[in-house]
Amino acid sequence: MTKIVLDASALLALLAAEPGAEMVADTIPGANIGAVNLEEVVGKLALRGMPEAEIRNAVSALGLSVHPFTEQLAVESGLLRPTTDHYGLSLGDRAALALARHLGLPTYTSDSAWQDVGPAIDVTVRLIR
C-alpha cells in the first residue's frame, strides 16, 4: 500500500491527464482513498459522460485501497469543521483530511486552501500543482 491519501481532485487530475498527474501517478497502485472521495470522482466522470463500465474499469485498474466512511471517520470529519469551516471545505474535503489524519499519512490534493489547513489539524498536505 502506498503511503498517501488521495483527495478527489488529485485522482481526477490523474484520470484527466491534468497538471500534477505525474505526481499522482507515482503513488499508484495502492494509494489510499476514502469512499466519499471515490464517489466524488465517479460522479464527476459520469457527469462528463463516461460510461459506467469505463468508470468501473478505470477505477479498478488503479488498484486503490478504498476506505469506508465509518462512524469513527464521520465523527473525526465532523470534529474538523470548527477548525476548517472558514476555508470553505466540503464534506469530501474533510473526509479526505480525516482519513489522512486517522491513517497518519500525507494527502495529495490540488486545493491550495489545504496548505493552511494541514498544519492546523496536523496533516501533511502535498499540492500536486
CATH of the domain at 17: 3.40.50.1010
Question: What domain count does the chain have?
Answer: 1
* Domain interval for residue 111: 5-127
Nearest-10 Cα torsion for 53, 56, 61, 63:
-170
pLDDT at position 25, please?
96
Integer Cα distance of 21 and 36 in angstroms? 21
Q: Per-residue pLDDT for 16 more than 70?
A: yes
Pick left, alpha or beta for residue 67 (phi over 0 → left; psi -120 to 50 → alpha; otherwise beta). beta
pLDDT at position 19, please?
96
Q: What is the pLDDT of residues 59-108, one digit of tens each?
A: 999 999 999 999 999 999 999 999 999 999 999 999 999 999 999 999 99
Is the CB of residue 62 less than 8 Å from the CB of residue 33?
no
In this structure, how many other beta carbons lie within 10 angstroms of the beta carbon of residue 87? 14
